[in-house]
Homo-oligomer: A and B are copies of this chain.
């Protein structure tokens, strides 16, 4: 018989780890969250905007990550009939549901940074 600790976690820990895994896979990698962050902050952005704003990313990576985000319907891609053609990227309504998750990640990260900072002095 396994010990059950008072973790505060609510019942049914069934496929929850799969759900977590899914989310992590969607967000993992060096760039996805940064791209999402840029799009959430700035609204609609073109490819070149993103290339400039996401610090250090290469065109290949940006292209690849945007494709993945589009496939997962987090980001919408719109080709504009301008000269020269431009392409607009923005978060989908669905993509915006990630805001809470990202806010939590940011919030905890800030606590952690404060903690690390205190230690170091």
Chain A positions near chain B (C-beta within 8 angstroms):
2-5, 7-9, 13, 15-24, 26-28, 33-34, 37, 40-44, 94, 96-113, 115
Contact = CB atoms under 8 A, between A and B. Distances in A.
13 contacts: A5-B42, A7-B43, A7-B99, A8-B96, A9-B41, A15-B113, A19-B109, A21-B33, A21-B34, A22-B112, A22-B113, A23-B108, A101-B104
A8 B97 CA distance: 11
The 4 lowest CB-CB distance pairs between A and B, nearest first, are A5-B43, A19-B109, A23-B109, A104-B104
Q: Is the interface of A mostly helix, strand, loop or mixed?
A: helix
A94 B115 contact: yes
B33 A20 contact: yes
A70 B46 CA distance: 42
Contacts of A9: 40-41, 99, 103
Given A7-B99, A18-B113, 15 more contacts: A4-B42, A5-B43, A5-B44, A9-B41, A15-B113, A16-B37, A19-B106, A19-B108, A20-B106, A20-B109, A21-B34, A22-B109, A24-B27, A24-B28, A101-B105
